[in-house]
Amino acid sequence: MLNRKLRMGMIGGGPGAFIGAVHRIAAFMDGQIELVCGAFSSDPEKSKQAGEQLNLPLTRVYGSYKEMIRAEKALPPDQQMEFVSIVTPNHVHFEPAKLALENGFHVVLDKPMTFDLKEAQLLKEIAAKSGLYFCLTHTYTGFPMVKEARQQVLSGKFGKIRKVYVEYPQGWLSSFIEADNNKQASWRTDPKQSGIAGAMGDIGTHAFNLAEYVSGLQVTKLCADINIVVDGRKLDDDGAVLLKFDNGASGVLMATQIATGEENNVKIRVYGEKGSLEWKQDDCNSLLVKWPDKPMEIFRAGAAYTSSFSRHNTRIPPGHPEGYLEAFANHYRNFALTVKTSLNGGKPTPEMLDFPGTEDGVRGMNFVEKVIASGKSDAKWIEFDK
């Protein structure tokens, strides 16, 4: 393993940005990554402010991502950034990611992958050609007990999977807060920045990714009820989706931002012939495993009896709760371990490589397009692109 921190440049994440700060905590937590440069805002003055607060030398704070990528590439190899972290709104995902990959920088990208499906498919190809690593930060698959859930399903212990319920109920958009200059609400409800979907892109894609990740299955068609509940809103803030999976299983996905009083209790239940499991963010260090003929079992994060995938992604003993930031950090840590192992000429382990990538991103954008199309359609089922 390389015995030094990986050098990160950040695109976006300036003053007032929620997710940029989260990315930084996640990146720093495990001592594997250092921030060496950034283009934190399209406004050079704001970018500079952010750089100062982050204690960066001003020579490494840039007014645009283009400038940053060009300038960093010109630095000596042992100084230049080694990967970019892109934390901008959706409409500024594709171009910087493309440019970074084409200039030899690995990429960490906030979800959803791009503005539309076409961009996602293109970006997947570009990444594949580049031979570089790409991580899409679908937070919830970073939780150790979500990884445990997937491993238990893949082990076959539950038999054939028959039913998947996944839900993401939020309440923060239950009133028209985009009118109040709420930065988070504004771009997420603006078609020019978010694309064709609001809630479906923002949290529907998380739920969708979680369902496919844990079940090990792929959705083949869906039937959606998509709503704009709050008057004046421009994009969907609520949806419910019937799903069909490639093994014949069915499912239900519920994602809403108008569930007044709800926080972020993402939850998934997967039912097989022989047993089933349940995980939710509100009790994120537990995995419930249910059987028809013996007591329910509660698997706990960090326990010695859990899989290598789960244990690799915990830091402290069972009962000392790890949470959202650690789940997020797991993606950064695994990405960094993967890059560092490769730089060192080694072969990353399956546990290191278990972070979301371009295929997840394309699937997610496919979901966005199909779910919005279904919402507008009188036909019952809409098929996914192959």
For 36, list phi and psi in degrees, rounded to 5.
-115, -20
Cβ within 8 Å of residue 222, ≥6 positions away: 241, 242, 243, 244, 253, 367, 370, 371, 374, 381, 382, 384
Residue number, 130 or 306, with CB nearest to its own copies: 306
Does 284 participate in binding its own copies (rule CB under 8 A)?
A: yes
User: Comparing C-alpha atoms, which of 321, 336, 263, 11 is closest to residue 144?
Assistant: 321
The tokens describing 279, both together, are 């995980």
Binding mask 39-78 for its own copies (x = CB under 8 A): -------------xxxx-----------------------
Question: Minimum Å distance from CB 132 to its own copies?
Answer: 24
Q: Indicate the DSSP class of residue 110.
A: P
Of the candidate spans 160-168, 188-196, 211-219, 337-345, the one that interacts with its own copies by CB under 8 A turns out to be 160-168
Q: Are 289 and 297 in contact (CB under 8 A)?
A: yes
Q: Are 337 and 352 in contact (CB under 8 A)?
A: yes
Return the residues of window 302-321 that contact its own copies according to CB under 8 A: 303-305, 315-321
Question: Minimum Å distance from CB 383 to its own copies?
Answer: 13
Q: What is d(CA 295, CA 286) in angstroms, rounded to the nearest whole number? A: 15
Residue number, 86 or 277, with CB nearest to its own copies: 277
Question: Minimum Å distance from CB 86 to its own copies?
Answer: 19
Does 344 participate in binding its own copies (rule CB under 8 A)?
A: no
Q: What is d(CA 62, CA 160) in angstroms, rounded to the nearest whole number? A: 52
Among 3, 78, 131, 350, which residue interacts with its own copies (rule: CB under 8 A)?
3
Question: Minimum Å distance from CB 94 to its own copies?
Answer: 27
Residue number, 114 or 152, with CB nearest to its own copies: 152
Does 188 participate in binding its own copies (rule CB under 8 A)?
A: no
Return the residues of window 117-136 that contact its own copies according to CB under 8 A: none
Whole-angstrom CA distances from 374 to 52, 102, 370 are 47, 35, 6
Q: Are 355 and 134 in contact (CB under 8 A)?
A: no
Of the candidate spans 77-85, 111-119, 209-217, 373-381, the one that interacts with its own copies by CB under 8 A turns out to be 373-381
Does 175 participate in binding its own copies (rule CB under 8 A)?
A: yes
Return the residues of window 202-261 that contact its own copies according to CB under 8 A: 223, 225, 227, 229, 238, 240, 242, 244, 250-252, 254, 256, 258-261
Does 322 participate in binding its own copies (rule CB under 8 A)?
A: yes
Among 70, 192, 274, 347, which residue interacts with its own copies (rule: CB under 8 A)?
274
**What does R_g of the chain's alpha carbons equal in angstroms?**
21
Q: Are 309 and 214 in contact (CB under 8 A)?
A: no
Q: What is d(CA 2, CA 321) in angstroms, rounded to the nearest whole number? A: 29
Helix axes 65-74, 94-102, angle to 10 degrees: 10
